[in-house]
Chains A and B, each alone.
Chain A
Amino acid sequence: MGIIDKARIYSPWLYHLHCGGCNGCDIETLAALAPRFDVERFGIQLVPSPRHADILLTTGCVPKQFIPMVKRIYEQVPDPKVVVAVGSCACGGSLFYDDAPENYAILGSPDLLIPVDVYVPGCAPKPEAIINGVVQGILKLAEKASKKE
Chain B
Amino acid sequence: MVLAIDIGNTNVVVGCFQDEEILFVERISTRQSNTALEYAVSFKSILEIYKISVKDIEGSIISSVVPSVTNTVKRAVETITQKDALIVNHEIRTDLKIDIENPHQLGNDLIVAAVAAMEQYEPPMAIIDMGTATTISVIDKTGTYIGGMILPGVAISMSALSEKTAQLPKTALESPKRFIGTNTVDCMKSGILYGTACSIDGLLDQIESELNMPVKVLATGGLSNLIIPYCRRKIILDDMMLLKGLKIIYQKNI
Are chains A and B native binding partners rather than an unrelated pairing?
Answer: no
Interface residues of A (CB under 8 A from B): none
